[in-house]
């Protein structure tokens, strides 16, 4: 996009009025946070239930904003009006600043002429987005959602960046916590490729049940551009049944991805031969030196014709992570590259450097102890996955004692007891020495764990429950031994990432003391 001036905003917003200032003033971008950079920006005063951007107009003007956008119900007092003149700050009035904000985001998307990938799902959005980004970086510059800014405002801010950054691909993460939100988000994003990672109980408290959540997540298709592609995991029954029932393969380019052991031939028969499949086969692990574990597999891209697998392309993949779901995410990334008609070998080579993001199955080795940090967020299914990864790491590093630090799962509503109970059941499937439970779901996790152990006739781990993270940390640090694997998992609000950091620092301190003796 070319440099924009205030006169362009007056065209984009038909109801806008320039109350004062020069329409020829150029600006960098829109900004809504008075705490952020404002020099050269246009400050849009958004109004919410607990905040009002109009209260920060003076701050924005003093920080160098080229213009301020106010809504029709707001009036500037004489002092503010004079301040805008002193700083040569334009005043633009619109009927509703929220509407103006989203209209500009839609404009930025419409001006962008390169592929846009939208990623949604109950869990795994960020790690999937990161893996796709890594694959596409082999072919050009990528703009992707920053951090976890995946709500309607964050999505708009990502689209704003498309106006400023020289980029060949855009990847937009899309989260929802209310009915109707996905329909609004997909109207903004208008993706060329839509990804739904799964349908599960994460944040289910906002949606009552899985059927409603499925309906909301799949409404991403309402904004899919003509000849667009939909990428789905073939191990998610709700999504595959939805795709089959609605005959999606007749209306769009349908890709399925996943691991060979999850592939059901009866499922394959439900879909026409035009569907694309990307399957990870022959998965195994190799260790380089004393620390790095590589996950090796072959990805096959092809079609099923009359029930017979026809391979179109075989790609060798190597990942610096032991997590099973990263192999599935790699298949997703390759499916995305395939949908964009890119070289799969080149994409796979770029994936080799992927080792996970902070708080998402990050492996940290300190002396003879390994930390598995998956503390960023949680769902019962992701608890199951990280425990399986823990088994792989314990075997590869020859560690006997495995410790689990389990924070509760938020936003489950009426499903809190059952979902936390699932976590307890999953824990009982693994050999653990100690388990530390934290938060409102601690009792449900522990009760289900102990019951399941009793039913299996196995010795239960030492269990402790806490309501305060600081109390948990005190016991955990005091009870750290050697040659242990510690698994950290829980919803983001429990801040287990801080616990990981404290444990890391303590282990480093002990290692240094040992060296100095």
pLDDT tens for residues 4-26? 899 999 999 999 999 999 999 99
Read off the pLDDT band of 148 (50, 70, 90). confident
In percent, how much of the chain has pLDDT > 70? 97
Give 498's contacts (C-beta < 8 A, 6+ positions apart): 469
The sign of the torsion formed by the CA atoms of 383, 388, 394, 400 equals positive
Residue 341: what pLDDT?
96
Residue 490, classed as helix, strand or coil, is: coil
For residue 331, give its domain range.
112-352
How many CB atoms within 10 Å of residue 467?
A: 12
Task: Indicate if 239 and 370 belong to the same structural domain.
Answer: no
Most confident of 70-74, 184-188, 207-211, 327-331: 184-188
Measure the CA–CA gap between 224 and 228, rounded to whole angstroms. Answer: 6
Predicted pLDDT at 307: 77
| pLDDT: which is higher, 122 or 485 | 485
Contact 485, 393 (CB under 8 A): yes
The residue out of 43, 71, 100 marking a domain boundary is 100
* Same domain (yes/no): 315, 371: no
Provide the pLDDT for residue 289.
Answer: 56
Confidence of residue 358 (pLDDT cuts 50, 70, 90): low
Is the domain of 63 the same as that of 181? no
Nearest to 259 by CA among 243, 282, 276, 237: 282
Q: What is the pLDDT of residue 203?
A: 76
168 has pLDDT over 80: yes
Same domain membership, residue 343 and residue 276: yes
In this prediction, residue 74 has a pLDDT band, given cuts at 50, 70 and 90, of confident
Contact 438, 445 (CB under 8 A): no
Q: Does any domain span residue 424?
A: yes
Q: What is the mean pLDDT of residues 26-38?
A: 93
Predicted confidence at residue 505, as pLDDT, reads 96
- Residue 430: give its domain's CATH number: 3.90.190.20
End position of a domain, from candidates 47, 77, 100: 100
What's the domain count of the chain? 3
Instruction: Report the pLDDT averaged over residues 325-336.
Output: 92
> In terms of domains, do 144 and 65 share one?
no
The answer to the question of residue 228 being in a domain is: yes
**Mean pLDDT, rounded, for 400-413:** 95
> Residue 369: its pLDDT value, please?
95
* Helix 344-351 with 125-136: angle, nearest 10 deg: 120
**184 and 232 belong to one structural domain:** yes
Q: Which of 193-207, 309-323, 435-449 has the highest mean predicted lDDT (pLDDT)?
A: 435-449
For residue 292, the model assigns a pLDDT of 64
Q: Which of 100, 124, 153 is the last residue of a domain?
A: 100
> Average pLDDT, whole number, for the chain?
92
**Is the model's pLDDT at 1 over the cut of 60?**
no
Is 232 inside a domain boundary?
A: yes
Q: Tell me whether residue 357 is in a domain.
A: no
Q: How far apart (Å, rounded) are the C-alpha atoms in residues 406 and 404?
A: 6
Say what the pLDDT of residue 359 is.
Answer: 60
Chain segment 254-294, per-residue pLDDT in tens: 999 999 999 998 899 899 999 999 999 988 887 765 556 77
Calpha distance 243→222 (Å, rounded): 14
CB 31 within 8 A of CB 45: no
> What pTM was estimated for this model as a whole?
0.86
| Rounded average pLDDT over 232-254 | 95
496 belongs to a structural domain: yes
Whether 105 is covered by a domain: the verdict is: no
Q: Is residue 1 part of a domain?
A: no
Average the pLDDT over 188-192 and give the result.
97
Whether the pLDDT of residue 141 is over 80: the answer is yes
Q: What mean pLDDT comes out for the span 469-480?
A: 97
Flag the least confident range among 122-126, 148-152, 211-215, 286-290.
286-290
- My answer on whether 66 and 164 are in the same domain is no
Measured in degrees and rounded to the nearest 5, phi and psi for residue 193 equal: -130, 130
Collect all residues with Cβ–Cβ distance below 8 Å to 416 and sequence separation of at least 6.
Answer: 205, 409, 440, 441, 444
Q: Same domain, yes or no, for 485 and 392?
A: yes
- Give residue 76's pLDDT: 83
179 and 52 both lie in a single domain? no
Model pLDDT, residue 406: 97
pLDDT on residue 514: 80
pLDDT for the residue numbered 322: 78
Q: What's the pLDDT band for 3 if we cut at 50, 70, 90?
A: confident
Beta strands, E only, 166-290: 169-173, 193-196, 229-233, 253-259, 276-288
Give yes or no for a contact between 437 and 466, defined as CB atoms under 8 angstroms apart. yes
Residues 323 and 275 in one domain: yes
User: Taking 80 as the threshold, does the pLDDT of residue 35 lie above it?
Assistant: yes
């Amino acid at each position: 996009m070319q440099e924009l001036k205030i006169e362009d905003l007056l065209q984009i917003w038909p109801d806008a009025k320039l109350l004062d200032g020069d329409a020829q003033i150029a600006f960098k971008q829109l900004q809504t946070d008075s705490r952020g950079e404002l020099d050269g920006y246009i400050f849009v005063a958004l109004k919410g239930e607990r905040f009002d951007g109009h209260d920060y107009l003076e701050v924005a003007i003093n920080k160098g904003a080229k213009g301020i956008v106010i809504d029709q119900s707001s009036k500037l007092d004489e002092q503010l009006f004079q301040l805008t003149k002193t700083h040569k700050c334009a005043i633009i009035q619109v009927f509703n600043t929220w509407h103006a904000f989203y209209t500009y985001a839609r404009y930025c998307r419409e001006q962008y002429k390169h592929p846009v990938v939208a990623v949604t799902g109950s869990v795994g959005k960020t790690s999937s987005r990161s893996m796709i980004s890594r694959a596409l970086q082999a072919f050009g510059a990528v703009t992707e959602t920053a951090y976890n800014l995946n709500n309607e405002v964050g999505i708009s801010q990502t689209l704003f960046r498309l106006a400023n950054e020289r980029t060949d691909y855009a990847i937009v993460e899309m989260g929802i916590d209310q009915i109707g939100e996905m329909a609004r988000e997909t109207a903004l994003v208008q993706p060329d490729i839509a990804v739904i990672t799964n349908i599960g109980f994460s944040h289910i408290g906002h949606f009552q049940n899985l059927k409603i959540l499925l309906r909301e997540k799949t409404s991403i298709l309402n904004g899919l551009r003509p000849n667009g592609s939909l990428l789905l995991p073939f191990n998610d029954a709700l999504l595959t049944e939805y795709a089959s029932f609605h005959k999606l393969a007749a209306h769009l380019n349908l890709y399925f991805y996943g691991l060979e052991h999850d592939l059901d031939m009866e499922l394959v028969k439900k879909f026409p031969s035009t569907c694309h499949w990307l399957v990870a086969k022959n998965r195994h692990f190799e260790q380089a030196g004393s620390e790095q574990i590589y996950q090796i597999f072959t990805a096959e891209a092809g079609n099923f014709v009359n029930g017979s697998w026809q391979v179109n392309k075989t790609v060798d993949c190597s990942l610096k992570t032991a997590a099973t779901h990263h192999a599935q995410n790699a298949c997703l990334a390759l499916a995305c590259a395939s949908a964009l008609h890119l070289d799969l070998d080149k994409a796979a080579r770029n994936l080799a450097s992927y080792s996970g993001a902070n708080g998402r199955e990050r492996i940290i080795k300190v002396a003879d102890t390994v930390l598995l940090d998956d503390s960023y967020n949680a769902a019962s299914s992701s608890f199951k996955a990280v425990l399986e990864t823990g088994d792989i790491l314990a075997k590869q590093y020859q560690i006997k004692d495995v410790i689990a630090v389990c924070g509760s799962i938020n936003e489950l509503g009426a499903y809190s007891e059952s979902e936390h109970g699932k976590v307890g059941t999953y824990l009982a499937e693994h050999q653990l020495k100690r388990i530390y439970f934290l938060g409102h779901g601690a009792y449900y996790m522990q009760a289900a764990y102990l019951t399941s152990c009793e039913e299996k006739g196995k010795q239960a781990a030492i269990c402790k429950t806490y309501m305060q993270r600081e109390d948990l940390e005190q016991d955990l640090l005091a009870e750290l031994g050697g040659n242990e694997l510690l698994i950290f998992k829980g919803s983001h609000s429990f801040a287990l990432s801080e616990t990981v950091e404290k444990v890391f620092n303590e282990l480093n301190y002990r290692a240094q003391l040992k060296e100095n003796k």
